[in-house]
Copies of this chain bind each other. A is one copy, B any other.
Amino acid sequence: MGAVAEPSMRDGDGPRRVVIEGVRPEIDGGRFPIKRVVGEKVVVEADVLADGYDALSCVLLYRKEGALKWLEVPMEPLASDRWRGEFIVTELGRYCYTLQAWADPFQSWQRDLKKRVEAEQEVSVELSVGAELVLEASSRAPGDVRKRLQSTATALGGRGNMASKLRLALDEELARLVSRCSDRRSAATYHRELTVVVDRERTRFSTWYEMFPHSCAPKPGRHGTFKDCEERLSYVAAMGFDVLYLPPIHPVGRTHRKGKNNSPTAGPQDPGSPWAIGSKEGGHKAVNPLLGTLADFRRLVEKAREHSIEIALDIALNCSPDHPYVKEHPTWFRWRPDGTVQYAENPPKKYEDTYPFNFETEDWPELWEELRSIVLFWIEQGVRIFRVDNPHTKPFAFWKWLIDEVKRDHPDVIFLSEAFTRPKIMHHLARLGFSQSYTYFAWRNTKAELTQYFTKLTHTDVREYFRPHLWPNTPDILTEYLQSGGRPAFMTRLVLAATLGASYGIYGPAFELCENRPREPESEEYLDSEKYEIKQWDIDRPDSLKDLIARVNRIRRENPALQGDWCLSFHHVDNEQLICYSKRTEDCENIIVVVVNLDPQNTQSGWVELDLEALGLDPHQPYELHDLLSDACYLWQGVCNYVELNPQVLPAHVFRLRRRVGTE
């Protein structure tokens, strides 16, 4: 690996003979970047074609965006004109990569000479041809190599002993030296420069806890504060979360404020939905005075950091009717013929407590600037993670601009896209820059659904740009599975989320307390939803899942196999209610095998069929499975082994596989 000159696209040297195409990864002809985190590999493959029979050489070129020099690594030929190479991204920001390939006359000559010698042909003219090639290469070689190549050329073209000349001519070290001095004037450079966005590790591997600050007060009925949140930090940290996500913390509007259970009229004590942002106390850059001051918030960020927790904020780009923007920037909203502002709606439903921005306003440049300033403001307060509310209802171009703008100066910022909409829209948002994306996980319950969905997310090109974030529940989503399955269902969905997804999160304390009463049948809304009222959670309830959660999150931290999404494979079980999958590190040093009972009502049993070869196991040797959840150990042998899971006790095994019995 070394620095080389800028690949030249000049055509003045004559037409290129080599063609590079079918490059992967490459998203939509290079229009969108691929994504990696610091320390990850970029493995690049391409078809490299040329006319005729010449041997080819190919290199992968890459550089940090803005760097003058390309670095290069050789690519290796695979079967059928396919080549592969790889590099590691080591810094936050953006990298570029492309390829260069050329016909290599010396390699061709050496290959053909071997065949001629084997056929016992007269080769003296051929040796002169080789001498010319070596001499020509020497003119491009650094000093010491130059002399060596010159003397080799003289020997090849001279009158010496044929056997020793052939030994010299067919020397592999000579091929390596000449290759390094290849004439690249007519090398072909791939016509696209492809981009990698490099994020920090938490973008791939993160464990989120969502919590309403207004419910954090220790005393019933009182509005929680940032100080109360500080008190809650050790509880969150003990469960092993590393991101604490707070719904909007801004002043809440009064006009059309929603009451309990989304009632159109609020009582005097009702806090209002935190997403109805803005009041006379301020808008998106202010904090709700009931929560405390901006200084209190900064202190919470500090305290969280001491617990190795990052605070994530919500970017919800809409306003309550009382938001200062409505008066200060009337052109940012859509006005109706009756002189009122157009509220949010999904006809025939009306959401009169929020006004969407009119992104089609003629003043859009001013609006965009202001919205960016909101994000920059919270970055100044120490926030680096943003969960973006409903990005699919704001223009794609706005998000691309905003994310590019922010990440240019702050490449460590993470944007999570909360778009629950049609798949192509979700994928497009991910392609244009969101670092992580909510998924359909909450509604994928059967073995077939989970297998199909996660195979698509982890084994197609989608994985190059879409980083799945798995939530078994959210304040808006109480699934039918959780409603009907009770505590075992919560355990099942916890293990699935935490082991299928390198990033997952729960909305607590509703989750660990197995809160599952719907507002009405068929609804995914909670009864007495925390969105509209202050809740008093008994986090010390003995049936809380907090210890199980802590254990699951410790297993995630201790097992690198669970910290990535790409290494997932599913294994057959002869019972549709049991799902089995494994994850492993690339070197197979850490292998986790998970078996989950998807039936929250009944004990299920069946025979698991592991793909032993893929897991690097000897089919004739027993192997040990250590259940990291129950701490039990099992000795298995061969492909098929029996499992039985009682959902009332523990609906899952999370095994660490030990290849050699008795050692680890």
Q: Which residues of A contact B (CB under 8 A)?
A: 14-17, 19, 21-22, 28-30, 47, 49-53, 80-81, 112, 115-116, 118-119, 121, 125, 128-129, 132, 186, 336-338, 346-348, 359-360, 362, 364, 392-398, 401, 422-425, 428
Contact = CB atoms under 8 A, between A and B. Distances in A.
Given A346-B53, A348-B119, A423-B80, A336 B125 contact: yes
B47 A392 contact: no
B15 A398 contact: yes
Given A336-B125, A394-B51, A14 B362 contact: yes
A142 to B, nearest CB: 26
The 5 closest A-B pairs by CB, nearest first: A29-B29, A119-B348, A128-B337, A15-B397, A112-B347
Contacts of A47: 424
A348 B118 contact: yes
B125 A49 contact: no
Contact of A425 (B30, B49, B360, B395): B49
A132 B121 CA distance: 89
Given A364-B14, A424-B49, A396 B337 contact: no
Contact of A17 (B21, B30, B395): B395
A396 B16 CA distance: 9
A238 B53 CA distance: 42
Contacts of A423: 80
Given A348-B115, A396-B19, A28 B29 contact: yes
Contact of A337 (B29, B116, B125): B125
A595 to B, nearest CB: 34
Nearest to A30: B29
B393 A425 contact: no
Contact of A360 (B19, B22, B186, B336): B186
27 contacts: A14-B360, A14-B362, A14-B364, A15-B397, A15-B401, A17-B395, A17-B397, A19-B396, A19-B428, A47-B424, A49-B396, A49-B424, A49-B428, A51-B359, A51-B392, A51-B393, A51-B394, A51-B425, A52-B392, A53-B346, A80-B422, A81-B424, A112-B347, A116-B348, A119-B347, A128-B337, A129-B337
A204 to B, nearest CB: 26
Given A17-B360, A118-B348, 18 more contacts: A14-B360, A15-B364, A15-B397, A17-B359, A22-B424, A29-B29, A47-B424, A49-B396, A49-B424, A51-B359, A51-B425, A52-B393, A81-B422, A81-B424, A115-B348, A119-B347, A119-B348, A125-B338
Given A14-B362, A395-B15, A336 B51 contact: no
A125 B362 CA distance: 23
Contacts of A360: 14, 17, 186
Contacts of A425: 49, 51, 81
A418 to B, nearest CB: 14
Contacts of A393: 51-53
Contacts of A337: 125, 128-129, 132
Nearest to A28: B21
Contact of A428 (B16, B21, B115, B428): B21
A15 B362 CA distance: 10
Question: How many copies, total?
Answer: 2
Contacts of A29: 28-30
A48 to B, nearest CB: 9
Contacts of A401: 15
A117 to B, nearest CB: 9
The interface centre, meaning the residue of A52, A359, A362 with most chain B CB atoms within 10 A of its CB, is: A52
A427 B132 CA distance: 35
A423 B21 CA distance: 14
Contacts of A336: 125, 128-129
A73 to B, nearest CB: 23
Nearest to A368: B15
Nearest to A186: B360
Given A115-B348, A348-B118, A338 B16 contact: no
A398 B51 CA distance: 10
Contacts of A186: 360
A264 to B, nearest CB: 15
A373 to B, nearest CB: 18
Contacts of A22: 424
A400 to B, nearest CB: 9
Contacts of A395: 15, 17, 51
A121 B359 CA distance: 27
Nearest to A131: B337
Contacts of A118: 348
Nearest to A81: B424
Nearest to A121: B348
Contacts of A80: 422-424
Contacts of A17: 359-360, 395-397
Nearest to A356: B52
Contacts of A394: 51-52
Contacts of A49: 396, 424-425, 428
Nearest to A127: B337
B347 A116 contact: yes
Contact of A51 (B30, B50, B53, B396): B396
Contacts of A14: 360, 362, 364
Contacts of A359: 17, 51
Contacts of A81: 422, 424-425
Nearest to A348: B119
Contacts of A396: 17, 19, 49-51
Contacts of A115: 347-348
A276 B423 CA distance: 60
Contacts of A398: 15
A623 to B, nearest CB: 39
The interface centre, meaning the residue of A81, A118, A362, A395 with most chain B CB atoms within 10 A of its CB, is: A395
A452 to B, nearest CB: 16
